[in-house]
Chain A
């Protein structure tokens, strides 16, 4: 490559430097972290700032901040310092995890919307013996065969959510079509739901994997249309689910068949709009409804007041995750992860959901009731999209059982 210096118009060296400097500050801007007080307790946050799950990342971050504000910004009389780095791919997330641990010396890390990213940072947390609060991933193996002594999970495992919606979907017919994101979460969702469907006498009429971040699903939808399934089960989230819904609407498939997913985020449906949104989904939390417990209702109110709109599910997850980390620090009067892990394995959190919720000591899964939510027939509000059909399990006594016994889970912590 040779430079072309025959150009008819010149440029001063100074202008060039100014331009380059301006460009450089712009490149650096997203990574600037504000100066912090020396004595602060640092907690890392890994949530997406870009890519398909960026909306969840922003709302999750807002939720975590509200938890810190609930504590008055302080724990053990030291200011809490939340450091948010990007979660955009397993590689980047792992690098950012190391940065949080090695450079920022955080006492704990929270985050992970994508199961692939969380599976990549779990071994790092384990080696560093640092608490990882996995607030948003759903792949079953995170608190299953890949479980870790230092990882706790707030979000729901696919293995549990598939059972919550199956009875309603079964009524719609036997022919199922699967379109799932081609990574840990989507593939696990297919495996879990397929087992339930086949056992119940249903058939899989199609199974496609779509790369994460697919914008155009029209070719997938042609296949779906051709197969005429009774139920479409999509392991898609973020902009992928939004795109899928918008394009279903485009070719007239909206409400022509049942639609479900392993989990749902409000933002994905808000982005699709009231005309395109439909389906029956397992939902970890909803900002409004009769199920809302006192503390969580207060959170929803504080969030709405601060941000001008209600929190979506990820906001609650990161608010609860951060609340549990801070509660552990406060109660143990320590930032030592070994002590925090010990506390979280034993503590019952009351007032957050209908029943007391707790992390199980043998797999570190948060055991909690979940909602079976159906998109309203007629949506009139900008945010209120769901009718809550039921809670799962219906009987709080069956809660622990719904998440599987120690033998089913297959989790053994490394000593």
Chain B
């Protein structure tokens, strides 16, 4: 039994990294722009579908280009649909992103059809490693490594560069940053593009594991929200801790009470919100208090 529990905990941690990856983009866009992006799931799905379409012509390059394409879509949507809503009632942004989510999912269904598409991992990443009771597939290890790399890169970018400082300052006091002569519009567009591109990366990487269907966006959006909410809105550290927490909880519930494995993450979220209403590492935000 101990062996099974160890193997489930490790499996849960690895799954947790996938949840973290899906949640990062949501966290960036919320943390920097204050937008609760209900359309996050469709950028995730678009990543997988762009890779699907490009891989026949471009091969492995598709994996790199698909997230860029998603980022571009994000940039266009930000400039046309999101930008007019900044500074308005936050509810408008919610409605807008919800509308975008429904529309893009329908668009995906129209273009690529409702049926799923096969999507295999590359041959060099197939297979698995067994170490005592622990079994990890090479592909999931790869996803873990990519997730950690993205997190480090984002952290370095936001903490260590001038652009990062502008983004962080702009998210808290846009008026002051604008008065310093910085074009915040462009900064916000870039951040939105970055967040959606990371969602696209998650979609590409999830495609070999999960079904590539239009409703994959729904499968991604709920865990992403739960992870970001538990971790504290806008906190990367919180998202990592909560993603791993959710992954392990799901894995252990499957070991002992599988029928509750979807409910367990919501139960965890409720519990944590009762104890820490801002989430694990959430900071206080003037504009949302």
Interface residues of A (CB under 8 A from B): 1-11, 15-16, 19-20, 22-24, 26-27, 29-30, 49-52, 54-55, 57-59, 182, 208-211, 213-216, 218-220, 222-223, 225-226, 239, 242-243, 246-247, 250-252, 267-268, 270-276
Contact = CB atoms under 8 A, between A and B. Distances in A.
A275 B209 CA distance: 13
B15 interface: yes
A33 B81 CA distance: 26
Interface string B98-125: 1110110110010001111111110000
B12 A219 contact: yes
Given A9-B86, A19-B96, A239-B211, A29 B81 contact: no
B258 A209 contact: yes
Contacts of A242: 116, 211, 213
Contact of B209 (A6, A208, A247): A247
B127 interface: yes
Contacts of A276: 118, 120
B237 interface: no
Contacts of B254: 208, 219-220, 223
A210 B264 CA distance: 13
Contact of A271 (B90, B117, B219): B117
13 contacts: A6-B175, A7-B174, A16-B84, A16-B88, A50-B218, A209-B258, A214-B261, A219-B12, A219-B261, A222-B135, A223-B254, A274-B118, A275-B120
Interface of B is mostly: helix
Contact of B85 (A16, A216, A273): A16
Contacts, number: 203
Contacts of B259: 182, 209-211
B88 A3 contact: yes
B280 to A, nearest CB: 22
Contacts of A52: 215
A228 to B, nearest CB: 13
Given A3-B88, A3-B89, A239-B213, A23 B99 contact: yes
Given A3-B89, A19-B96, A24-B99, A214 B262 contact: yes
B15 A216 contact: yes
Given A219-B12, A271-B117, A9 B89 contact: no
A251 B15 CA distance: 14
B287 interface: yes
A58 B174 contact: no
B127 A252 contact: yes
Contacts of A274: 118
B8 A9 contact: no
Contacts of A3: 87-90
Interface string B174-214: 11011100001100000000000000000000001111111
Nearest to A265: B115
A51 B215 contact: yes
Contacts of A272: 116, 118
Contacts of A267: 115-116
Given A22-B81, A219-B261, A274-B118, 4 more contacts: A6-B87, A9-B83, A52-B215, A243-B210
B4 interface: yes
A169 B99 CA distance: 48
B24 to A, nearest CB: 18
Contact of B215 (A16, A208, A223, A239): A239
Contacts of B255: 219, 223
Nearest to B139: A250
Contacts of A59: 114-115
B250 interface: yes
Contacts of B155: none
B86 A11 contact: yes
Nearest to A88: B215
A26 B89 contact: no
B116 A6 contact: no
A58 B115 contact: yes
A222 to B, nearest CB: 6
Interface in B258-282: 258-259, 261-263
Contacts of A273: 118-120
B87 to A, nearest CB: 3
B128 interface: yes
A19 B93 CA distance: 11
B4 A222 contact: yes
Given A29-B103, A246-B211, A251 B86 contact: no
A54 B86 CA distance: 35
Contacts of A7: 86-87, 174-175
A205 to B, nearest CB: 14
Contacts of A5: 87-88
Contacts of B120: 273, 275-276
Contacts of B229: none
Contact of A8 (B114, B119, B175): B175
A357 B250 CA distance: 46
B7 interface: yes
B235 interface: no
A218 B258 contact: no
Nearest to A52: B215
A15 B84 contact: yes
B2 to A, nearest CB: 12
A177 to B, nearest CB: 12
A250 B211 contact: no
Contacts of B86: 7, 9, 11
A10 B175 CA distance: 11
A279 B90 CA distance: 51
